[in-house]
Amino acid sequence: MRKLFMAGNWKMHMTESEALNFVKQVKPLVADVTDKDMLICPPFPVLSRMQDALKDSNVALGAQNMHFEEKGAFTGEVSGPMLKAVGCEYVIIGHSERRQYFGETNEIVNKKLKAALNHDLLPIVCVGESLEQRENNETMKVIEAQIRESFKDLITADFKGTGADLAINDWSQITIAYEPVWAIGTGKTASPEQAQEVHAFIRSLLPKEVAQKVRILYGGSVKPDNVKELMAKPDIDGGLVGGASLKPESFAGLCVFD
Number of H helices, E strands in the chain: 10, 8
The verdict on whether residue 171 carries a ligand-binding annotation is no
List Cβ neighbours of 243 (8 Å cut-off, separation of 6 or more). Answer: 185, 221, 223
| Position closest to ligand PEP via CB | 242
Q: Which of 80, 180, 220, 238 binds ligand PEP (CB under 6 A)?
A: 220
Closer residue to ligand PEP in complex, CB, 12/73: 12
Tell me the per-residue interface mask from 106 to 145 with ligand PEP, x by CB under 6 A, - otherwise: ----------------------------------------
Q: How far is the CB of 151 from ligand PEP (least distance, A)?
A: 20
Q: Does 184 bind ligand PEP (CB under 6 A)?
A: yes
H runs (alpha helix) in the chain: 16-30, 47-53, 80-85, 96-102, 106-118, 131-135, 139-150, 192-205, 227-231, 248-255
Q: Are 154 and 125 in contact (CB under 8 A)?
A: no
| Residues binding ligand PEP: number (CB under 6 A) | 14
Active site residue 179: yes
Q: Does 221 bind ligand PEP (CB under 6 A)?
A: yes
- Positions 224 through 253 that interact with ligand PEP (CB under 6 A): 240-244
Q: How far is the CB of 177 from ligand PEP (least distance, A)?
A: 7
Closer residue to ligand PEP in complex, CB, 164/251: 251
List Cβ neighbours of 137 (8 Å cut-off, separation of 6 or more). Answer: none
Q: How far is the CB of 15 from ligand PEP (least distance, A)?
A: 19
Enter the DSSP assignment of 3: P
Active site residue 95: yes
C-alpha distances in angstroms, 215 versus 92, 159, 200? Answer: 14, 18, 11
Q: How far is the CB of 243 from ligand PEP (least distance, A)?
A: 3
Handedness of CA 255, 143, 173, 215 (dihedral sign): positive
- What distance separates the 2 farthest-apart alpha carbons in the chain? 50
Closer residue to ligand PEP in complex, CB, 40/154: 40
Which among 199, 246, 227, 216 is positioned nearest to 13, based on CA atoms? 246
- Per CB under 6 A, which region of 24-32, 133-141, 190-198, 219-227 contacts ligand PEP? 219-227
Residues that bind ligand PEP (CB under 6 A): 9, 11, 179, 184-185, 219-222, 240-244
Catalytic positions, please?
95, 179
